[in-house]
């Protein structure tokens, strides 16, 4: 992904705004879809109350913190737009060739649209989930003075999730069907992303694997930072996020360039 000038940047900001506005039109549908999040939180609120009781902990988090932690991981997971499926279909059908002649970067176009839609989905899921968590488990103590770091972590997490999904979608240049790989990614997210419990609670071997993969830095780490802010976790998370953002952006650019060349060679 090439760097963009100020004028080009405004163009992608506008794309994000349009995507945001388009999703706001369906705001009621987004709130309705949050019912699934409430169901998940209800089940685990009862589980943590029973298993942990008033004084038990998992990886340093009590039952209240565990539910809030899960709220943030699930908000990220459930708010991810499904644009990568559209990318995959465009690649398979050859429609991607028509978008190559348009005056914008294909990758940055989808990233901007992704961010706009994610913002709406995350806002609805978080507001509904936070209301439920507050009523069932009590408030979350937030250090507002450090909230800027949390927002930075979530912004980088959003970038990583987009790039991971985009890279999988680009496999359509070489593979007939990519849905099995998205299914595998989804299952890996549950484990290595720490959707249900922090990866710090895992056995050492599984924890080490989680630390090496990008999923921990886009789900578990930013969620834990909200409920249990710690500077050592912050620096570790930001370092991992920056490394993975650069690596995945480079991988996406290389895959796209090679894939487009493949389309041209085959007369797409």
Cross-strand partners of 58? 61
Question: Is 243 a domain residue?
Answer: yes
- CA–CA gap between residue 21 and residue 216 (Å, rounded): 30
> 58: which DSSP letter?
B
Question: Is 241 a domain residue?
Answer: yes
Q: Give whole-number Cα distances, 259 to 31, 63, 91, 171, 244, in Å.
A: 38, 47, 9, 9, 22
Task: Give per-residue pLDDT as tens, 71-114.
Answer: 999 999 999 998 888 888 888 777 777 777 777 888 999 999 99
Question: Is 22 a domain residue?
Answer: yes
* Helix (H) or strand (E) segment spanning residue 104: none
Task: Give per-residue pLDDT as tens, 230-266.
Answer: 999 999 999 999 999 999 999 999 999 998 887 654 4
Q: Is 4 within 8 Å of 98 (Cβ atoms)?
A: no
The total number of structural domains in the chain stands at 1
User: Could you list the residue range(s) of the whole structural domain that residue 249 is in?
Assistant: 6-265
Question: Is 1 a domain residue?
Answer: no
- CA–CA gap between residue 152 and residue 223 (Å, rounded): 12
What's this model's pTM, rounded to 2 decimal places? 0.91
Question: Is 248 a domain residue?
Answer: yes
């Amino acid at each position: 992904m090439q760097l963009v000038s100020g004028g080009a940047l405004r163009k992608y900001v506008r794309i994000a705004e349009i995507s945001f506005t388009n999703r706001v039109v369906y705001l009621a549908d987004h709130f309705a879809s949050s019912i699934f999040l409430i169901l998940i939180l209800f089940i685990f609120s009862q589980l943590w109350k029973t298993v942990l009781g008033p004084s038990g902990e998992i990886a340093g988090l009590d039952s209240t913190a565990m539910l809030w932690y899960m709220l943030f991981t699930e908000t990220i997971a459930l708010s991810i737009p499904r644009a990568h499926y559209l990318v995959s279909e465009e690649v398979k059908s050859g429609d991607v060739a028509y978008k190559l002649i348009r005056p914008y970067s294909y990758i940055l176009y989808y990233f901007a649209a992704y961010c706009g839609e994610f913002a709406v989905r995350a806002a609805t899921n978080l507001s509904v989930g936070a209301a439920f968590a507050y009523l069932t488990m009590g408030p979350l103590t937030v250090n507002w003075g450090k909230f800027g770091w949390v927002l930075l972590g979530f912004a980088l997490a959003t970038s990583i999730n987009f790039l991971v999904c985009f890279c999988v979608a680009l496999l359509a240049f070489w593979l007939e069907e990519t849905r099995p790989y998205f299914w595998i990614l989804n299952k890996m997210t549950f484990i290595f992303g720490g959707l249900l419990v922090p990866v710090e609670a895992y056995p050492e071997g599984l924890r080490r694997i989680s630390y090496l993969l990008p999923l921990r830095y886009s789900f578990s780490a930013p969620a834990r930072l909200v409920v249990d802010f710690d500077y050592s976790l912050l620096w570790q998370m930001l370092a991992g996020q920056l490394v993975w953002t650069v690596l995945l952006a480079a991988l996406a650019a290389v895959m796209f360039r090679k894939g487009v060349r493949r389309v041209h060679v085959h007369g797409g």
